[in-house]
Amino acid sequence: MPETGSVDRFRLNARPNDRKYMTTLDTADLAAPTTIEEFRERLSGISEGLPRRLRQCADHIAANIDRIAVSTVAELAAGADVPPSALMRFCQILGYSGFSEMQKLFRDAYAPGFPDYSTRLKNLKETGAGTPSALLGEFIEAGRLSLEALAKSADEAALAQAVVLLAAADTVHIIGLRRAFPVAAYLAYVFDKMSVPAMLHEGTGKLDHRHALRPGDAVLAITFAPYSDETIALAQHARDQGLPVVALTDRITSPLARAGDAILTVPEVDFGAFRSLSATLALAIALAVAVGSARG
Site for DNA in 71-110 (CB under 7 A): 72-74, 82-86, 88-89, 91-92, 97-101, 103
Phi, psi of 165 (to 5 degrees): -60, -45
Told to check if 185 binds a second copy by CB under 8 A, we report: yes
Pairing mode of beta strands 270-271, 262-265:
unpaired
Told to check if 58 binds DNA by CB under 7 A, we report: no
Residue from the set 28, 73, 86, 124 that interacts with a second copy by CB under 8 A: 124
Long-range Cβ pairs for the range 97-103 (8 Å, 24+): 99/73, 101/32, 102/32, 102/68, 103/68, 103/69
Considering the complex, state which of residue 158 and residue 225 has its C-beta at the smaller distance from DNA. Answer: 225
Distance CA 60, CA 90 (A): 11
Residue from the set 78, 86, 199, 289 that interacts with a second copy by CB under 8 A: 289
Name residues contacting DNA, limited to 13-52 (CB under 7 A). Answer: 19-24, 51-52
Q: Which helix (H) or strand (E) holds 194?
A: none
Told to check if 3 binds DNA by CB under 7 A, we report: yes
Distance CA 295, CA 285 (A): 15
CA distances from 142 to 134, 213, 267 (A): 12, 37, 11
Residue from the set 28, 78, 233, 282 that interacts with a second copy by CB under 8 A: 282
Distance CA 28, CA 42 (A): 11
Nearest to 165 by CA among 231, 228, 238: 238
Told to check if 60 binds DNA by CB under 7 A, we report: no
Name residues contacting a second copy, limited to 216-275 (CB under 8 A). Answer: 251-255, 257-258, 263, 272-274
Contact of residue 86 among DNA, a second copy, none (CB under 5-8 Å per partner type): DNA
Contact of residue 186 among DNA, a second copy, none (CB under 5-8 Å per partner type): a second copy
| Interface size with DNA, residues (CB under 7 A) | 32
Told to check if 51 binds a second copy by CB under 8 A, we report: no
